[in-house]
Amino acid sequence: MKETEKIYQSLLEMYKNGIQSKEPKKIREFLNDNSVELLKEDARFYLEILQLRAASFSLFGELNEAGEEYRKGYASCSTSGKWVYGLNWALQFMAEFSFKRDKAKIHEAMNNGIKVLDQALIDLPFDKYRDFYFLCLSNVKAFMLLNSDRKEEALASYANCKFIPVPIPEYNDKESLQVLFAHFTKGIAVAIELKNYDLLMNLMKVISIDDQTLNAEGSLFRIFYETLVSAFDMRAEFITEFNAMFKIKDVLVKTTPHFARFLDLIGEQDLDKLDLFFQKSFS
């Protein structure tokens, strides 16, 4: 076994022990071990441990320190992997919603995430999924802008997006475009908070598997609801994020009150109230 692999295994074991025992002291011991820097020659090990260190800092609410761990590894990423690494880096700042601190802390965290996403957008690879990756990053960026009270910039994030329906083969392949579906609720949140009909329908177009549903007569909420339910059935990562948003709705009241109200109504499962909510929002 190479020396770097031994160091990696040792650090990984320290991390697992800390997490499984739920003892802050053990997690701190993992963070205080600087041997991670000896892994630089092996990018795979180095990047994994840095991300575990970032996750550990996040547990303590130390999001700037978590971001610094990601920053150390960015140069070690492959050309095609930089944007995903950057996305994960930015998402570390979403942990702020779990700490129920003041609005200023949310703004600080979101603005730090936005800076990282700007670089991730630059580093997107030119492959057949680029438009979907671009939309994914734009959804996350727009959500962060919205939660830092930059509403006009949030909407402008979509200026260069192509709202192309996900092809059926990719839709049916549970391994394909997971990252798009895993962060799609953030885009829906932006559309609902800004009461922007065009954005909402464009986002629905991307995930709809039935054009007849989108073009059917009936209330906007019914079209929205049927489209979402179909997507939830097909892509588990989509509903996982939706449920995660529901868990932080009491914090979102501070920054996205209209979307938080939508989540409250979802919790009540009163479709008539939701129908009325959409009528008032998008009239």
- pLDDT digits 0-9 by tens, 123-154: 999 999 999 999 999 999 999 999 999 999 99
CA pseudo-torsion sign 183, 189, 195, 200: positive
Provide the pLDDT confidence category of residue 217 given band limits of 50, 70 and 90.
confident
Give the tens place of pLDDT for each residue, 223-253: 999 999 999 999 999 999 999 999 999 999 9
pTM value? 0.93
Task: Write out the two tokens for 113.
Answer: 């995430």
Amino acid at 193: E
* Per-residue pLDDT at 214: 79
Model confidence at 2, pLDDT cuts 50, 70, 90, reads confident
261, containing H or E segment: helix 257-268
Asked whether residue 7 carries a pLDDT value surpassing 80, the answer given is: yes
Q: How far, rounded to the nearest angstrom, does the alpha carbon of residue 122 sit from its chain's CA centroid? A: 18
What is the pLDDT at residue 1? 64
Question: Are the C-beta atoms of 67 and 96 separated by less than 8 Å?
Answer: no
Domain ranges of the chain: 130-281
Contact 106, 90 (CB under 8 A): no
Provide mean pLDDT across the span 50-78. Answer: 95
Residue 270 has pLDDT above 70, yes or no: yes
Short-list 190, 171, 192, CA closest to 181 = 171
Q: How far is CA 64 from CA 47, 50, 89, in A?
A: 18, 14, 11
> Tell me, what's the pLDDT at 260?
97
**Alpha-carbon dihedral 144, 281, 269, 168, rounded to 10 degrees:** -70
